[in-house]
Structure 1
């Protein structure tokens, strides 16, 4: 049981900078000078110690492996920079889309709850709520705002 607790605590979080440059070089198969170059170019940004030494996180190691894979496939470093930038943008857009989908689900649930409320409340609420047609394609929502078209 002591070994299990020790091994569970030994794994750092993905973004915690713990690996010195020699370990990062060994884990990625890249030369330490290459890691320094990638740092200078901004392709990877390791953490720093008080004395200025680089400390790489597991996320940095994965990023370096991706850079190595891309360069091995013939992509230049500026191309790699652009690919990494686009991958970050795609991840941000996916996160935003998921947040919007969650918001839409909550809105649908609130509308369904409002429409199933007692008659006196349900009569007044539709005047303030958008109408949703559910006969559209699966996953699609059509919203009409009352009073906008005349």
Structure 2
């Protein structure tokens, strides 16, 4: 069975109307006006998702506050656009994160002689010094 989410068309018109606190005829009217358009089955019956029900409740709230149906349509259009753009941003962020994680040699650094950070190409090594350095503890020097 496929995953069920808020956009899955689950509810017949009678159930959606009850969940939204509206008459089924109101839902048909809103569908004709393009306010909340449910998906259709092969037999052309309406199937509402939980997101559709939430939008129907929003239509009822805005209508009770005196917003015209044209104004409600515009508000819903903008809200849907925000949802779509937010989903796209999440998708692009995920793709970018995957790209950064999968890119070979994404962060190869070494320390220079003076302690500075040196960026290296993937697969290259720093040049190793081969001089021999003798260290001895500091001893007081005697004048000769």
Q: Which interval holds the TM-score relative to the shorter structure?
A: 0.5 to 0.7
Contact kept in structure 1, 2:9 and 2:39, CA below 8 Å: yes
Equivalent of 1:94, from 86, 93, 96?
86
- The normalised TM-score by structure 1 is 0.58
Contact kept in structure 1, 2:31 and 2:37, CA below 8 Å: yes
> Which sections of structure 2, spanning at least 5 residues, go unmatched?
113-117, 123-144
How far off is 1:52 after superposition? 1.8
1:74 is matched with which residue? Answer: 66
**Greater C-alpha radius of gyration:** 2
Q: How far, CA to CA, are the matches of 1:117 and 1:106 in structure 2?
A: 23
Structure with greater helix percent: 1
- 1:125-140 alignment, distance < 5 Å: none
What do you get for the CA RMSD once the two structures are aligned? 3.6
1:21 is matched with which residue? Answer: 13
How far off is 1:95 after superposition? 3.8
- The normalised TM-score by structure 2 is 0.60
> Which sections of structure 1, spanning at least 5 residues, go unmatched?
1-8, 126-150
1:78-126 Cα deviation digits (max 9, x unpaired): 101111111122233434555566638976xx7x95451587x83679x
Equivalent of 2:109, from 112, 116, 137?
116
How far off is 1:40 after superposition? 0.8
Give runs of ≥4 in structure 1 deviating > 4 Å. Answer: 96-102, 104-107
